[in-house]
Amino acid sequence: MLLIAVLIALGIAAPSQNAPVTLPAGVKSVAFGQAQRYGGAGKELCAIVQPLPSPAVFERGVTEMSYTVELEPRIVKSASARVVAPAGQELRADGCNAYTPIKGGFSQTQLGSSISRVDKAPLQPGRYTLRISVDGQTAEIPFTIGR
């Protein structure tokens, strides 16, 4: 009986893992890959030059992964993102954000981070989730570190 319940649950969950994710209003795109960092305008900037195809799968043994969320300038009032990872590893995030000058101030146009382990070991294989919240709307985008 338990086996049947598990098989049914897996059968129901499997299609949703490959279903397209609806991004919150104000989000242009999401990219995963290796960030390239460079200096500009008095601060460090970063970009993912070669994004991974969707759904993103990082190679086993990777010690750092990056994501960027491209935001519509002037549209987004508040945005945040975080990676939900398998337990047993302490992670650190180095920001990969960008802002554009607009009349009266600045508007955030990129939200992102490079994620690595505090102990510098490879990221654990498994399923990860990028949880994005923009102006009260939330989306979860799964990605994988290879097994």
Domain membership flag for residue 90: yes
Per-residue model confidence (pLDDT) at position 101: 85
Per-residue model confidence (pLDDT) at position 2: 36
CB 21 within 8 A of CB 141: yes
Residue 61 DSSP one-character state: T
Domain membership flag for residue 11: no
User: Can you tell me whether residue 7 is helix, strand or coil?
Assistant: helix
Q: Which of 138, 95, 141, 98 is CA-nearest to residue 116?
A: 95
Q: Total domain count for the chain? A: 1
3-state helix, strand, coil in the chain (%, to 5): 10, 50, 35
Per-residue model confidence (pLDDT) at position 61: 96
Look up the domain containing 108 and give its range. Answer: 23-145
Phi/psi of residue 63, nearest 5 degrees: -100, -10
Per-residue model confidence (pLDDT) at position 20: 74
Q: For the residues 48-76, what does the mean pLDDT come to?
A: 94
pLDDT tens-digit map of 90-130: 999 999 888 888 888 888 899 999 999 999 999 999 999 99
Strand 79-84 versus strand 126-134 pairing type: antiparallel
Domain membership flag for residue 14: no
Neighbours of 127 (CB within 10 A): 13
Name the token pair of 52: 């991974």
Per-residue model confidence (pLDDT) at position 80: 95
| CA 65 to chain CA centroid, nearest Å | 9
pLDDT tens-digit map of 12-46: 334 444 567 899 999 999 999 998 887 766 666 78
Q: Residue type for 47, please?
A: A
Domain membership flag for residue 5: no
62: domain CATH number is: 2.60.40.10
Domain membership flag for residue 34: yes
Q: For the residues 42-51, what does the mean pLDDT come to?
A: 81
pLDDT tens-digit map of 4-13: 333 333 333 3
Domain membership flag for residue 33: yes
Per-residue model confidence (pLDDT) at position 46: 82
Q: Residue type for 128, please?
A: Y
Domain membership flag for residue 3: no
Per-residue model confidence (pLDDT) at position 123: 97
Per-residue model confidence (pLDDT) at position 43: 66
Domain membership flag for residue 64: yes
